[in-house]
Amino acid sequence: MIDTKELKSRYDEIRKNIENRYMDVDLDAIIALQDERYGVLQETEALRAKRNETASRMKGRLDPETRAALIEEGKNIKTALAEKEARLAALDQQFTEAARTIPNYASPEAPVGKEDKDSLAVKFVGQPPKFGFKAKDHVELGEALDLLDFDSGAKVSGQKFYYIKNKAVILQMALERYAMDIVIRHGFTPFITPDIAKEEILNGIGFNPRGEESNIYTIEGTGTCLVGTAEITLGGYYSNMILSKDQLPIKMTGLSHCFRREAGGAGQYSKGLYRVHQFSKLEMFIYCTPEESEKYHREILSIEEEIFGGLKIAYRIVDTATGDLGAPAYRKFDIEAWMPGRGVDGEYGEVTSTSNCTDYQARSLNIRYREDDGKTRFVHMLNGTAVALSRAMVAVMENYQREDGSIDIPEVLVPYCGFDRIER
């Protein structure tokens, strides 16, 4: 969450930021709740002081009448204090939940707009392939080569689940290891993370585990959820901890399964592997000082470019519009790879994203570091996709298809695969 001490001092800025993100947040109601909470806190502290004063007066010798009066007064204070503390606890929870609905401040450089079309393409790399034949999409290719089985996935698990088969399994593992090797070379420590996280961690990262709008699968009666990304588990790793400044930056990369409800995700852009309920992903995560977060944001983006540039797949970089940032993000860049089977003649489709979340997540998760002078500050937290394997598979299969229906393997992946083509 943002620093709630700033709700009044930066009121106009916060309200404008909410408008630019096209979010429905009642800032005035949240401030009113904050004021009520402060009033009850003052009353609670006054009763605590009175309780201590009464206890102090009971020390020493007292006549029976005075002692009885003080005992009665203590009982009354205890009852009143219990009521105030219960009210304060309820207000604390209400205010915290309400404050979490306020989005992070957006970068002044982020394009203002509501939808994908308002995002700004800032860089194009490579040329989309020109085939002398009608390009197939990855679903057609995968079924013809016996690589993908969506029908059996739907039968066994439901729609948007699937089986990957035969050489496609090796191709996915090759993409995973290829990206992992690059990320490790850049100083990231590898992790395989849990697939389950507590709801308090999801809330702290900025994911809503409840309600119709949630993209998260909850595990009933456990207070836990299936993770939608390793950002959640890597971000929760240092929760409620104070780091030393010389530990920073901390660079982590996590391989995990990702589970997403994808409520409302429909249409041609959701076809096949592009939008599914389960996939695997290698995520990058950095904890750093506030002064260095923009530098590391650019570093994550450059690593994403290195991964897709090495695959020799045409892509563009998109500076994400404010309305599509997501509440925790200060700024976000997406890489969209060319997908020949998408649309009529091919289109770009998102394959990675990287976000600088500044101290927004750190405040909720209480992750700080200690400066040289002994004072503590909240860390800045950044995340970025190294490779989302399902979407990377889409891009590779469609860009490297041949007229006879076979698929060439990108040169950088051949050593990992042990073969250079997938044929009938």
Q: Return the exposure string of 378-401: e unless at least 16 CB atoms fall within 10 Å of the residue's CB, then b.
A: bbbbbbbbbbbbbbbbbbbbbbbb
CA-CA distance, 282 to 388, in Å (whole number)? 6
Q: Using DSSP, state whether 199 is helix, strand or coil.
A: helix
Q: How many CB atoms neighbour CB 250 within 10 A? A: 18
350 labelled catalytic? yes
Q: At what angle do helices 167-185 and 389-399 cross, to 10 degrees?
A: 110
Phi/psi region, residue 28 (left: phi>0; alpha: psi -120 to 50; beta: rest), is alpha
Q: Which member of 107, 119, 256, 353 is catalytic?
A: 353
CA-CA distance, 141 to 13, in Å (whole number)? 50
Q: Which member of 294, 299, 391, 398 is catalytic?
A: 391
Q: What is the DSSP letter of 132?
A: S
261 labelled catalytic? no
CA-CA distance, 304 to 350, in Å (whole number)? 12
Q: Which member of 21, 275, 331, 363 is catalytic?
A: 275
CA-CA distance, 334 to 332, in Å (whole number)? 7
CA-CA distance, 277 to 275, in Å (whole number)? 7
Contact by Cβ (8 Å): 189, 175 = no
Q: Which member of 21, 37, 100, 260 is catalytic?
A: 260
275 labelled catalytic? yes
Residue 151 phi, psi dihedral angles, 5° rounding = -65, -45
Q: How many CB atoms neighbour CB 349 within 10 A? A: 21
CA-CA distance, 271 to 265, in Å (whole number)? 10
Q: Which member of 283, 336, 350, 398 is catalytic?
A: 350
Active site residue ranges: 260, 275, 350, 353, 391
